[in-house]
A and B are shown apart, each in its own frame.
Chain A
Amino acid sequence: MTLISSVLGTIGAAVMGALAAVGRVVIFALNTVSHLLRPPFYWREFLAALVQIGWLSLPVVGLTALFTGGALALQIYAGGSRFNAEAVVPSIVAIGMVRELGPVLGGLMVAARVASSIAAEIGTMKVTEQIDAMVTLSTDPMKYLTLPRVLAATVSVPLLVAVGDAIGIMGGYMVGTTRLGFNPAVYLQNTADFLETWDVVSGMIKGAAFGFIVALMGCYHGMQSGRGAQGVGAATKSAVVAASVLILAANYLLTEVFFAA
């Protein structure tokens, strides 16, 4: 009996702890969004975050998309040849990149690059009392640090996804035309014929959601950072892990909403 109650107690404590953590993140997110409606808004910090998160992530997202598009073309060609469906390579590459791989891989690459850097920066500011100093200087850290980063990521990641989609399709085109013997004009025509506006838009909506998640996790874990180098390290790790898992979970949910029959 004691053993059962002990096990149940442990499970209950873990569930309560998890629910409390979810609650804290939701409150943090709502608090962040509420600052959109309450001035002041720090434009300079927003523009700086836009450059850091959007512009400087372009190389890593672009390279990821390029190689993924190429690999996808090879895989679809190899798989499709088993039932004489090699011709679907252009359309499947385009749809696969735009609906799934572009947003998800772009989001994960941004999570690795941006969530870690935001969490480390804000975590270091916390342990060196810079956040406290900001408060004593009558500046709300949620307004000055969190909102500009979250907003910049929500705006810039969809654009990164769109550019990544184009580069990914280009990767498939390069492999398709140089290695798999596709006619360049036919490849492009097939891509255009099978791609619908909603495919692109849905991918960009996913990108916006993933951008929001990435910056929110970076800021949240940075603000919750423990003391010292170990605390900042743990915050950085938690931010990347949480952002990555939430991106994959959100991707499933959004796909269910957008494309479930």
Chain B
Amino acid sequence: MAMNKGKRAKILAMGGLFFCCGCSHSPEPELIPQTETEVVIPVTFRVEPLTNQSDNEQFVKDFNQEFAGEYRMEPNWLIESTSGYRNKLKQWNVLDQLPVLITDAGFDYDFYRVLAENDRLVDLKPWMEASDFWLDAMNPDILAGCTEPDGRVYLSPLGNNVHTYAGIIYREDLLASAGYEEFPQTWEEFWDCLDALKQDGITPLALHGSGSYWVPMLLATAYIYGDAEGKEFLDKRLPDSYQNEEMRELMEFLRRLYGYTFPDALELDYDQTAARLIDGQAALIANGRWMFETIGEENYEKYRFAPFPGGILMNSPQMSAWAVTSGYSDEVTEGAVRALEFRIRCAQDTKDVSDGSALMDSYIAATEMDYRVMPNFQLQWEQEIQNEFFTEYMPGFLAGEIQTDEFLKMMDERVEEIQSKK
């Protein structure tokens, strides 16, 4: 098995090289010559289709520079949306074709369980303990969130939260034209702002209609997290029932949101919506720090980052976690683990994320405020609810064809079904 994986690693590495040569992607092939003793680490990194850039390009260069002669990361640059890449991860897993180093390992709790419970991932705990800085660099809460009940650690998130917050990303100039120098701090002001933008002929919100309804659900969950009941509900993992007052509020909030977005929002996926925001067709979106690469540095002065109204930020370190898959040779596995360790070290070195741009400055300012951190609903709720049920029934609900209680009842029924399947 190890030999097969080793061979596959070479094939993937060669495939990655071929891919890099054949596509129009901007990352340049590295000029560091490979030596015979170098261990090749096959990885697949996503390239943002909108910008044709990958935020891991520099990481690969730095790693190969640092470990020249010892390890060499051979990336397969995959031009794919985030959701597309995550689907690929699932396919690679069932086909036993996972690259040795994977990103977004914790994006889907169920999928993560598939990986963890089938020994598809390498336990990083011994490596962390053997490292002279890795454990120290980890925020204890983040490490705890990534530790299995038996003490194993499969996910390697960045050691601190600074890179993983989500909130509101908005066009400063458009809000200014509507009379808002700063982003509203209460939900009432939020609605007023949306109205003002709308009155100004600007589409206030960039929303989409497929998948887990990520952007609208971020706003909606932030809305209900503002009170104690809502916080209690969202803090609960895999709730048995969604038929409660908080969910009713959330659903009504969702329905109201879609009055401030593109008329065809339900027909768009996340990537199309993001593209419209960057094109200036909408004033704001809800998303995290990771979207900055999609926006592009040249646009950093136009955009600002703000917490959700009520001083709420979403943080989900697991979402950004990387992992090492099992089945590769010891040399390749060790190289992949060294890459994870290197990533943590790099993140430590660049803890101050400010680059002087208005967007980054606003992001730093938001994370330094007195905020509350809400969990990621994607990791709290059943994946099938998000990926299938929402896709199936949310359009009907938003169109008024399905009433809130009916929707929540069906949701509970699906949860029961899912749990029975498990």
Do the two chains bind?
no
